[in-house]
Amino acid sequence: MELSNIKIEVEKLSNILGKAEDCLDLQYLTATIQYFHLVIAQPDFWKNPTPAYETLQEIEYFIFYKHQQYQRWCSILEDIKAALELLELLADEQLLQEAQTNLTVLQKELETAEIRQLLSDPHNKKGAFLTITAGVGGVDAEYWAYRLLQMYCRWGKSHNYQLHLVEISEGNEGGINYATLEITARYAYGDLKSETGTHQLQQISPFGVNNSLRTSLASVEVIPILSESVDFEIPEKDLEITFYRHRGNVNRTETWVKMVHIPTGISVSCNQERSQMQNKEKALAILKSKLFAMPTAGYAYALAQNVQQVDEIQPGLIKSLSNKLIREYILHPYTKVKDLRTNIETPAATEVLDGKIDLFIKAYLQQLNHTRSVDKEALDNFK
């Protein structure tokens, strides 16, 4: 990047940080931290460890991300400006490279912070279970599902998120039938909820003999990890649990667990934990999260209030959002990735498959927030 281009980008980042300072509201931040200190000082604060831990997480977020992180950004920006002043006087390749690196880091972190501003719903702060399922297309679809799994793993690692493979069913020739990732990080669900839907790939099939153009589908489902503080019990009569023996590897014992919620027909499998009991607990956690997020009339709330509405919920009432086509990935005869909801597109398909999906996440969240603002304004006008 040339020196003049770096100056332009620095000016843009200066404006962004100026706006961030206006949004920071240090007086509100100080009052919030003081409130949290009062909460911690209560005699019964540690009697309930789960909500206590969540409060500590909130404190860490407010102190670090809302204050220390802002100070750090300002420091990086000042370092870049100082480097530019020196480079005006004397060409120094190492100093230029250092300025470019700092600029890239600052751009990425401010982009992430801008996305965070769009995540106001409390569930957005939760971790996420992300499930990928191969659709129509045979072995090509299985390989496409595997490439999506790689894409999300690379995206998560680039954000320093903790990733754990909960379940995986391998395909016939290197792909996967389905897989579930557990992503334990603040805002993982808020970031990734934009990915729920069907993803379509168009490319020359690596498995065909005639260099034929193939279209493959894979569905992605993202749900928030249910907090222990809002946990609920599922009646045993509503669960069907099956244990499988893992064949083909004598070093692995009988660990595979499949759990079906009978009233809704929702099923979950887990095969990546070390013991059968751990797989059962993880499968139950995923099932509860699925039920909590299920788009029906208040099922999780009914269970939490001990209202027996289980029999009223039928599988036909569950509408899966993962069946809707949301994004196209074209690798031949040209390269393009297009989100069908926001119309955001890029020719950099390779970069997208390498995990660079933040442009789609940001556009979706902006559209979602805009829609909610318009709906709220319409409602206010109606009143």
Residue by residue, pLDDT tens for the chain (383 residues) are: 667 777 777 777 777 676 555 555 556 666 766 777 787 888 887 777 666 766 777 676 666 666 777 788 888 888 888 888 888 888 888 888 888 888 888 888 887 777 777 787 777 888 999 999 999 878 999 999 999 999 999 999 998 899 999 999 998 877 999 999 999 888 899 999 999 999 999 999 888 777 789 999 999 999 998 876 666 778 889 899 998 765 555 445 557 899 999 888 888 989 888 888 899 999 998 998 888 777 544 454 444 444 444 444 444 445 566 789 999 999 999 999 999 999 999 999 999 999 999 999 999 999 988 766 544 443 343 33
CB 153 within 8 A of CB 130: no
CB 202 within 8 A of CB 215: yes
Question: What predicted TM-score, i.e. pTM, was given to this entire model?
Answer: 0.72
Contacts for 48 with CB less than 8 Å, ≥ 6 apart: 229
DSSP code, position 65: I
Pairing of β 325-330 and β 197-204: parallel
CA atoms within 13 A on the CB side of 99: 26
Q: Is 247 helix (H, G, I), strand (E, B) or coil?
A: coil
Phi, psi of 254 (to 5 degrees): -75, 95
Residue type, 119: L
